[in-house]
Structure 1
Amino acid sequence: MFGMKFFFYSLEHLPIHIHVRSADGTAKFEVNPVKLVESRGIKPKDLVLAEALVEQHSELIIKKWHEFHGE
């Protein structure tokens, strides 16, 4: 989506979070509440967009986290 990939790893840990990868770098956001945890190389404008997308889709991200991790 918008040149970014949103994903989580199979051996994840709480709190619920999502990783973002773009051509420029990576970032990690906690989901509830949405908060940037770390960023490496992603342009500031793309971080703003990624954060807005995580906020917009946070319910779906949480649902998918629980489906996959069973927590």
Structure 2
Amino acid sequence: MPTILYINGWRIYFFANESNESIHVHCQKSEKRCKYWLDKELFEIEEAHSYNMNNKDKRIVRKIIFEHFDYIVEQWEKFEERKW
């Protein structure tokens, strides 16, 4: 589970064993967790699920993802290359 960002206590990472899922990130801070799908063509994100998070937490995570969108996509592509 490589961590690609660690910002304000939020760990942004990928899971190595999620077969052929499209680009997404997992985020965790203490007992708060979520997963977001990224659409690199449309520069959009969509929440897949969240656990123990309020609306403020979700806004913070969305902001982190958008601020680092290109970096996340770049890291995803490198990560996918290494898997094969």
Q: TM-score range by the shorter chain?
A: 0.7 to 0.9
Residue segments in structure 1 that go unaligned for 5+ positions in a row:
none
TM-score normalised per structure 1: 0.87
**Length, aligned pairs only:** 71
TM-score normalised per structure 2: 0.75
Moved more, 3-12 or 59-68: 3-12
Counterpart for residue 26 of structure 2? 19
1:22–1:42 contact (8 Å) kept in structure 2: no
Alignment of 1:1-71 (within 5 A): 1-12=7-18, 13-32=20-39, 33-70=44-81
User: How many percent of aligned residue pairs carry the same amino acid?
Assistant: 20
Residue 24 of structure 1, CA deviation: 3.0
Distance 2:8 2:55 in 1: 14
**Aligned Cα RMSD in Å?**
1.5
Residue segments in structure 2 that go unaligned for 5+ positions in a row:
1-6
Higher strand share: 2
